[in-house]
Amino acid sequence: MDYSNLSVSDFIKESKKGNIDIDDFHSVFFKKAEEIQKRYNHFITISKKEAKDSITKLDRKSTLAGLPISVKDNICTRGIQSTAGSKILENYIPPFDATSVSHGKEAGGIIVGKTVQDEFGFGTFSTNSAFGIPKNPIDPERSCGGSSGGAGGFTRAIDMPHIALGESTGGSISCPASFCGVVGLTPTYGRVSRYGLIDYANSLDKIGPMAKTVKDSALMLSIISGNDPLDQTSIQQKAEDFTRYCGKDIKGMKIGIPKEYFKGIDKDVEKTVRSAISKLEELGAKTVDISLPTTDYAIPSYYIIATVEASTNLAKYCGMRYGAQDEIKGYFNEYFSGIRGKYLGEEAKRRIILGTYARMAGYRDQYYLKALKVRTLIIEDFRKAFRKVDVLAAPTMPIIAPKFTDIEKLTPVENYAMDNLTVGPNLAGIPMISVPCGTSQNMPIGLHLLGDHLKEGNIIQTADAFERM
Angle at CA 251, nearest 5°, toward 245 and 257? 90
Q: Beta partners for 79?
A: none
Averaged over 253-264, what is the pLDDT? 98
CA dihedral of 427, 430, 436, 438, whole degrees rounded to 10: -70
3-class SS at 5? coil
> Residue 239's pLDDT is what?
86
> In the chain, what are the domains?
1-294+380-469 (3.90.1300.10), 299-365 (no CATH)
Q: Please give the backbone phi and psi of residue 393, each rounded to the nearest 5 degrees, phi first.
A: -125, 135
**Rounded CA gap, 454 and 190, in Å?**
10
Averaged over 17-44, what is the pLDDT? 98
pLDDT in tens, 50-93: 999 999 999 999 999 999 999 999 999 999 999 999 999 999 99
Residue % of the chain over a pLDDT of 70: 100
> Residue 268's pLDDT is what?
98
**What's CA 85's distance to the chain center, in Å?**
14
List 47, 70, 72, 212, catalytic entry = 72
> Residue 33's pLDDT is what?
98
Distances (CA, A) of 209 to 48, 135, 179, 292, 380: 21, 20, 16, 27, 27
Burial class (CB in 10 A: 0-12, 13-18, 19+), 148: buried
Q: Which of 185, 193, 177 is nearest to 217 (CA)?
A: 185
**Rounded CA gap, 8 and 3, in Å?**
11
Helices (H), 109-198: 149-157, 174-180
**Is pTM beyond 0.95 here?**
yes
Averaged over 112-122, what is the pLDDT? 98
**Rounded CA gap, 324 and 427, in Å?**
32
Distances (CA, A) of 370 to 310, 366, 422: 18, 6, 20
List 54, 82, 86, 147, catalytic entry = 147
Q: Choose the weakest-confidence range: 68-82, 185-199, 325-339.
A: 325-339
List 54, 172, 217, 234, catalytic entry = 172
> Residue 238's pLDDT is what?
84
Instruction: State the pLDDT confidence band at 370, using cuts at 50, 70 and 90.
Output: very high
Angle at CA 211, nearest 5°, toward 10 and 25? 45
Average pLDDT across the chain, whole number: 97
72 a catalytic residue: yes
Residue % of the chain over a pLDDT of 90: 96
Distances (CA, A) of 316 to 86, 197, 272: 14, 15, 45
Distances (CA, A) of 2 to 6, 91, 158, 284: 8, 36, 14, 39
pLDDT in tens, 408-465: 999 999 999 999 999 999 999 999 999 999 999 999 999 999 999 999 999 999 999 9
> Residue 454's pLDDT is what?
98
147 a catalytic residue: yes
**Rounded CA gap, 250 and 228, in Å?**
33
Instruction: State the pLDDT confidence band at 1, using cuts at 50, 70 and 90.
Output: confident
pLDDT in tens, 34-45: 999 999 999 999
**Rounded CA gap, 184 and 190, in Å?**
17
Residue 332, CB-side half-sphere exposure with 13 Å CA sphere = 2
Averaged over 351-365, what is the pLDDT? 94
Averaged over 19-45, what is the pLDDT? 98
3-class SS at 404? helix
373 a catalytic residue: no
> Residue 301's pLDDT is what?
98
CA end-to-end span of the chain: 30
pLDDT for 148 beyond 90: yes
E strand or H helix at 286, and its extent? strand 286-290
pLDDT for 322 beyond 90: no
Give the CA radius of gyration of the chain.
21
Instruction: State the pLDDT confidence band at 137, using cuts at 50, 70 and 90.
Output: very high
Instruction: State the pLDDT confidence band at 321, using cuts at 50, 70 and 90.
Output: confident
Distances (CA, A) of 128 to 59, 132, 242, 263, 446: 39, 8, 34, 28, 23
Distances (CA, A) of 260 to 306, 313, 392, 424: 23, 33, 12, 11
